[in-house]
Amino acid sequence: MNGSFNFEAYFLNLAIQLKELAHTDQDRHFNRAKGIADLDEFLTNQRTLKGYQLVIVTGESGRFLENNSDNLLNQPYYSFYLLKEAKITDHDAQDLAVKECKVLAAKVFSRMFKERLEASNPLRGLERGSISYNQAGPFAHGWFGVFISFTMKDTTGINYVASDWLDTI
């Protein structure tokens, strides 16, 4: 993963600080999932959830990039859902939930962009051009919103260390 960027801790803090979410232990608006097929934490809590929900995808994925040197760069992928409940039979409410969640996503990224400017911030590897979103839902009993993903370049690189190997080349 990227240097000292802690995806889960960062987005938990965003869920606590963003007014529309205002996550607390008593009023939950933050959940984790290993992927779309594993929304267990969200589904377990859904009956007590209200308002907007931020669900981060914690399973690791990414790719290695050429660095025009002997090293490769690690490019982790990060993704999350912003969701809002809407009646399963009300298409206008579903569309509105998606639009409102997209507005919240813009707020999240505006904060990330601001924090990225700080030289020591782990968000400095955020690749602005990598951000993508898709409409999401319905989940469970009528949750709709957006699925957002982005990448960061991990500048620590991947180096060959001869002492890691039994043979020598």
Residues 52-73: tens digit of each pLDDT: 999 898 877 888 777 676 667 7
- The pLDDT value recorded for residue 135 is 94
> Identity (one letter) of the amino acid at 6?
N
Q: How far apart are CA 135 and CA 137, in angstroms?
A: 7
81-121 pLDDT, tens digit each: 999 999 989 999 999 999 999 999 999 999 999 888 876 67
7-164 to CATH, choices 3.40.50, 3.30.70, 2.60.40, 1.20.950: 3.30.70
- Percentage of the chain modeled with pLDDT above 90: 39
Res. 1 pLDDT band, cuts 50 70 90: very low
Q: What is the 3-state secondary structure (H, E, C) of the chain?
A: CCCCCCHHHHHHHHHHHCCCCCCCCCCCCEEEECECCECHHHHHHHHHCCCEEEEEECCCCEEEEECCCCCEEEEEEEEEEEEEECCCCCHHHHHHHHHHHHHHHHHHHHHHHHHHCCCCCHHHHECHHHCEEEEEEEECCCEEEEEEEEEECEEEEECCCHHHCCCCC
Domain boundaries, the chain: 7-164
Contact predicate 167/95, CB 8 Å = no
